[in-house]
Amino acid sequence: MDGPQILIPILVPIAFFLTVFGIIYLYKRERMAMIERGMDPRRYKPQSAPFQNLKWGLLLIGSGLGLLIAYILDNTAFRDMHDNEALYFALIAIFGGAGLFVSYLIERKETGLNQNTSEE
């Protein structure tokens, strides 16, 4: 094994342990800060985001659609070209962004935030 390859089995478990330790440490620190301020940590639960599943679903559908279209274009229109990696990243970003935009429009329609809030 070369130098960098031998470091991977050592550094990956250390990084995993430090990540888990950091998350638990910050969680406990937050709870202690709430107790110090006289708040009951059991009463405060994370707020639910009603459109979170819609947002993630449309993002993943858009990314998958972008990946599919990039694959089809790569195997048909750009068959003779060899370096088409940028096509995949570009279409994933474009269609993923389109999915997030559609999610925004649906959320805006459902919550009642229509076009103009100012009246003439």
Look up the pTM and report it.
0.54
User: Where exactly are the structural domains of the chain?
Assistant: 1-45, 52-111
Contact in structure between 87 and 78 (CB atoms under 8 Å): yes
Work out the pLDDT band at 110, boundaries 50, 70, 90.
confident
Does residue 4 register a pLDDT over 80? no
Q: Encode pLDDT of 53-99 as tens digits.
A: 889 999 999 999 999 998 888 888 877 777 778 888 999 999 999 99
Query: In angstroms, what CA-CA distances link 41 with 24, 26, 29, 34?
Result: 15, 14, 11, 6
